[in-house]
Amino acid sequence: MPFAPVEKPKFTFIDLFAGIGGFRLALQNLGGKCVFTSEWDKFAKITYKGNFGEVPFGDITKESTKGYIPDKFDLLCAGFPCQAFSIAGNRKGFADTRGTLFFDIEQIVKKHRPKVIFLENVKNLVSHDKGNTFKTIVDILENKLKYKVYTKILNSATHANIPQNRERIFIVAFDPEQVENYADFKFPEAIKLTKTIHDILEKGKQAENLYYKKDHQYYPELAKTMVSKDTVYQWRRVYARENKSNVCPTLTANMGTGGHNVPLIKDDFGIRKLTPKECFLFQGYPENYILPNLANSRLYMQAGNSVTTTLIERISNEIINVL
């Protein structure tokens, strides 16, 4: 267990939809203590336990699970899955989020009133349902729960010195009753990307099963397109696409399944998929983060579903400065 809890914490937080602990890693690095965590995927729980020594609680939509949340904590964080919202106005004029996972966050916030809420989601959340979904979320945080809300789309490549093109929407909300100088909050500034994919790619020959064999039906197509060792290509069902910016394309949860969206590189030994470890490094996970003995497809999915933990850390740092 490389990432033991902080002994004398500066603040406390809960980690919802925790996945493999990207938020937790970032906040522990800044002196925070995780006082509750939940994740329902059994394979993500294995990875989480291997690194943090705790098994997350299960389904957060259940009242029994919510019952384990301590009364008081400073920060609620969640990279919540984005399911469709039904926008059914009720008499109060607020849109309704029942039946979505945001509703569970809303209930927890209402009951526990953390000083800060920190949420992450796919960029498409902003445009989903002509922008109504996003508007609903902000509306509920501001008008119903009375928090002060900041939102911004940030890219791991421009804001975390991680060579992955990954845009995500971040929502940070402060309770003005508890955080007087909430107006001082600013998202972190862009920083220069100094790392290249070679800072992350493992040296030498990798496992045989990651390489495309010469007799593979798509090999001729791959060999024709993939000429540079300095970029990550992406396999799109029937062709390979070069990533012109020489960074890794957005890692997705489905990159280990069905051969779509798979990031590929050319090394000295042939054409291969990224290793699971490389995918974790492209998400800002440290070298000593433990990958359990699970199928590669599971590990790819965990990396793709995760947050870029170093970007979370930069945003969290700005939050802590305000607190």
Domains and CATH numbers, the chain: 11-193+303-322 (3.40.50.150), 203-274 (no CATH)
* pTM value surpassing 0.75: yes
pLDDT class of 131 with cuts at 50, 70, 90: confident
Place of tokens 């490549």: 157
| Tally of CA atoms within 13 A in the half-sphere of 80 that contains its CB | 23
Specify the higher pLDDT residue, 205 or 5: 205
pLDDT (0 to 100) of residue 4: 86
Whether the predicted pLDDT of 125 surpasses 50: yes
Look at 8-22, 34-48, 110-124, 240-254 and tell me which has the smallest mean pLDDT.
240-254
pLDDT (0 to 100) of residue 224: 92
Catalytic site positions: 82
| CA distances from residue 292 to 45, 127, 139, 204, 295 in whole angstroms, order as listed | 11, 36, 41, 22, 9
Each residue's pLDDT tens digit, 64-122: 999 999 999 999 999 987 665 654 444 344 466 777 889 999 999 999 999 999 999 99
Whether the predicted pLDDT of 21 surpasses 70: yes
Measured CA to CA, the distance from residue 143 to residue 35 in angstroms comes to 28
pLDDT (0 to 100) of residue 130: 84
Average confidence (pLDDT) over 204-216? 94
Query: In this structure, which amino acid lies at residue 115?
Result: K
What sections of 93-225 are H helices per DSSP? 101-112, 132-139, 156-159, 219-225
Measured CA to CA, the distance from residue 216 to residue 117 in angstroms comes to 48
Tokens of 281: 């490094």
Average model confidence (pLDDT) across the chain: 91
pLDDT (0 to 100) of residue 256: 67
Each residue's pLDDT tens digit, 228-278: 999 999 887 677 888 777 899 999 888 866 656 778 999 999 999 999 999
Measured CA to CA, the distance from residue 186 to residue 174 in angstroms comes to 12
The full DSSP string for 50-109 is: HHHS-PPB--TTSHHHHTTS-S--SEEEE----PPPP----TTSPPP-TTSHHHHHHHHH
Each residue's pLDDT tens digit, 172-197: 999 999 999 999 999 999 999 999 99
